[in-house]
Amino acid sequence: MKKVIDRIFFLKKQHNAVVLAHNYQLPEVQDIADFVGDSFALSKKAKESKADVIVFCGVHFMAESAKILSPKKTVLLPARDAGCPMAEMVTVHDIEQLREAHPDAAVVCYVNSSAAVKAASDICCTSSNAVRVVRSLPNKRIIFIPDENLGSYIAKQVPEKEIILFNGFCTTHKRVTVEEVDTARNAVPNAKILVHPECTPQVVEKADYVGSTAQIIDYANRSTDEKFIIGTEQGVLHWLQAKNQNKKFYLLSQKLICPNMKKTTLKDVLNALENMTYEIQISEQEIEKAYGALDRMLNV
Residues near ligand SF4 (CB under 6 A) are 59, 84-86, 112, 170-173, 198, 233, 258, 260-261
**Which of ligand SF4, ligand 13P, none interacts with 39 (beta carbon under 5 to 8 A by kind)?**
ligand 13P
- The edge-to-edge listing of strands for the beta sheet with 35-37 is 35-37, 17-22, 53-57, 74-76
Tell me which of 65, 113, 213, 264 binds ligand 13P, using CB under 6 A.
213
Q: Does 217 bind ligand 13P (CB under 6 A)?
A: no
Site string for ligand 13P, 16-55 (x = CB under 6 A): ----------------------xxx---------------
Among residues 161 and 264, whose Cβ is nearest to ligand SF4?
Answer: 264
For 229, the enclosing helix (H) or strand (E) is: strand 227-231
Is 126 an interacting residue with respect to ligand 13P (CB under 6 A)? yes
CB of 183 to ligand 13P, least distance (A): 22
Please tell me what DSSP assigns to residue 123.
E
Which of 9, 50, 62 lies closest to 31, judged by CA? Answer: 9
Pairwise CA distance, residues 9 & 273, whole Å = 10
The residue among 148 and 198 lying less far from ligand SF4, judged by its C-beta, is: 198
180 near ligand 13P, judged by CB under 6 A: no
85's contact among ligand 13P, ligand SF4, none, with CB below 5 to 8 A by partner kind, is: ligand SF4
Spatial separation of the C-alpha atoms in residues 12 and 2, rounded to whole Å: 15
Note the Cα 183 to chain centre separation in Å: 27
- Residue 101: exposure state from Cβ atoms within 10 A (0-12, 13-18, ≥19): exposed
User: Which residues is 192 bridged to in the sheet?
Assistant: 228
- Name the site residues for ligand 13P (rule: CB under 6 A): 38-40, 112, 126-128, 170, 198, 212-213
